[in-house]
Structure 1
Amino acid sequence: MLVDIFSSFDDHNSVFMSLYILIWMMTLTILSTFNMMFWAGPNRWNFVLNLPKSVMASLVMRSFGVKLGGFINIMCSLFLLLILFNLLGLVPYVFSPTSHFAMTLSLGCPFWLSLIISGSLHNPTSVIASLLPAGAPAGLNPILVLVETASICIRPITLSVRLAANITAGHIVLGLIGTYLSSGLFIYSVIALSLLIFIQIMYFIFEFGIALIQAYIFSLLITLYSDEHPSQ
């Protein structure tokens, strides 16, 4: 039984008919059918799986990440994983991993750090030079370097907070609407219940779009960070 609305984000909270196993089942399904084009003919399921991959592939092809070996495959996998976790969070009694800051930080920090380490090993001079904007006054150089360093260091935090905050806020609003709807099922008038049901349905559709958009934004920002990788 949930103590309050925020207890739904406790991954150790045991509830009746818990469907945590659904996350593992869907993940294994996606992994087993990720490259089904090699042994299966064109079908609707294959088209649905290839659509996120084609979207992310076209995005990476326009960035410097296309020159990084295996980057396009990693980003396609990350995009599909975020879509899966965000959408499964809308299923009742299923815990949403992307609503936890620890989960989003564990996704954003390795990708950000790998680009930083790769660029530093590839061309450390270019990485250090990118900390200072061209044409800046000499007296402001130390301050500008500190500001640019701080802006780079907080990138994984902003990535993680953006995804977790949007998913968490949406689930809280859905829970509040559902609480008012269930508590007033035998109290409110038919018009009020109809209005609450309409709001619940429309906001659920809105959250469905938010789940897709946040997965795209998370992958997009990491792809944009790859443009700062030194080319030589």
Structure 2
Amino acid sequence: MMASLFSIFEPSSSILSLSLNWTSTFLGILIIPALMWASPSRWSLAWLFIMNTLHKEFKTLLGPSHLGSTVIFSALFSLIVFNNAMGLLPYIFTSTSHLAMTLSLSLPLWLTFMIYGWITHTQHMFAHLVPQGTPSALMPFMVLIETLSNLIRPGTLAVRLAANMIAGHLLLTLLSGTCPSLSSTLAVVLVLSQILLLMLESAVVVIQSYVFAVLSTLYMGEIN
């Protein structure tokens, strides 16, 4: 039962041992309307408004010393939101529901922040391990706790995104599997509930992309 249930997340389609399901990562580019690339257009102006809003928020979080980095996090948000949205379409593989994808995004970012911080702001990184006002007796424990907290950050970022994508898809799959055995009245109620769940999933698509980008921004902002 569980094997068949989670099989919807398996990248099984392939040609000559080349997995084709991961190509869904780039399918978002194909469904962008042609008017998006016209200048100016309603699509491009709407997306430009979103990017400018994100840029202002990331600029506030990063501070004046890392203003150019807002482009990285805006692009990261765009990549994740496109892949999350593609997963809502039927028969499209959700790449962001796999740790292979989410870890590939979070781990390099975290490693870059840590290497840059320890090389350029070594004293600040050491000071960050012991919060201000910590009693002397608790300092060794706080160093261990802060070190562990830093080490698990890429994992928490990756698991949070993947788990939220999997949870909604599994719930929709479980509900749809019970539809053939229900009466007409219950089937209508089930379809309406799935429409509401799909609306919730559409909100989760944007929220989780935003959370991933903002937390990555906060982690970089701590280096200053």
TM-score (norm 2): 0.87
CA distance in 2 between partners of 1:134 and 1:21 (Å):
48
CA distance in 1 between partners of 2:112 and 2:198 (Å):
36
Corresponding residue for residue 194 of structure 1: 188
Residue 7 in structure 1 maps to residue 7 in structure 2: yes
Q: Could you list the runs of 4 or more consecutive aligned residues of structure 1 that deviate by over 6 angstroms after TM superposition?
A: none
> After superposition, what is the alpha-carbon deviation per residue over 1:102-124, rounded to whole angstroms, capped at 9, x for unaligned?
21111111111111111111121
| Structure 2 gap segments, 5+ residues each | 15-19
Task: Determine if contact 1:65/1:223 at 8 Å carries over to the other structure.
Answer: no
Which of the residues 191, 207, 219 maps onto 2:213?
219
Which of the residues 119, 126, 138 maps onto 1:121?
119
CA distance in 1 between partners of 2:127 and 2:22 (Å):
48
When you count helix as a share of all residues, which structure comes out higher? 2
> After superposition, what is the alpha-carbon deviation per residue over 1:61-80, rounded to whole angstroms, capped at 9, x for unaligned?
11225522631111111000
For residues 123-202 of structure 1, the aligned pairs below 5 Å read: 123-181=121-179, 183-184=180-181, 188-202=182-196
Task: Determine if contact 1:109/1:156 at 8 Å carries over to the other structure.
Answer: yes
Residue 208 in structure 1 maps to residue 202 in structure 2: yes
CA distance in 1 between partners of 2:116 and 2:102 (Å):
22
Task: Determine if contact 2:81/2:206 at 8 Å carries over to the other structure.
Answer: yes
My pick for the range that moved more, 57-66 or 153-162, is 57-66
Task: Determine if contact 1:170/1:207 at 8 Å carries over to the other structure.
Answer: yes
Residues 224, 91 of structure 1: alpha-carbon distance in 2 compared, 3 angstrom cutoff: same
Task: Determine if contact 2:24/2:94 at 8 Å carries over to the other structure.
Answer: no
> After superposition, what is the alpha-carbon deviation per residue over 1:127-151, rounded to whole angstroms, capped at 9, x for unaligned?
1111111222222221111111111
CA distance in 1 between partners of 2:63 and 2:110 (Å):
13
> After superposition, what is the alpha-carbon deviation per residue over 1:80-111, rounded to whole angstroms, capped at 9, x for unaligned?
00000000001111100110012111111111
CA distance in 1 between partners of 2:61 and 2:188 (Å):
48
C-alpha displacement at 1:25, in angstroms? 3.6
For residues 77-88 of structure 1, the aligned pairs below 5 Å read: 77-88=75-86
C-alpha displacement at 1:189, in angstroms? 2.6
Residues 66, 100 of structure 1: alpha-carbon distance in 2 compared, 3 angstrom cutoff: farther
Task: Determine if contact 1:20/1:94 at 8 Å carries over to the other structure.
Answer: no
CA distance in 2 between partners of 1:51 and 1:208 (Å):
20
C-alpha displacement at 1:52, in angstroms? 3.2
C-alpha displacement at 1:29, in angstroms? 6.8
Corresponding residue for residue 27 of structure 1: 29
Corresponding residue for residue 51 of structure 2: 53
TM-score (norm 1): 0.84
Residues 159, 125 of structure 1: alpha-carbon distance in 2 compared, 3 angstrom cutoff: same
My pick for the range that moved more, 112-121 or 85-94, is 112-121
Residues 6, 216 of structure 1: alpha-carbon distance in 2 compared, 3 angstrom cutoff: same
Matched residue SS, 2:188 = helix
Aligned length: 217
Residues 22, 140 of structure 1: alpha-carbon distance in 2 compared, 3 angstrom cutoff: closer
Aligned Cα root-mean-square deviation (Å)? 2.4
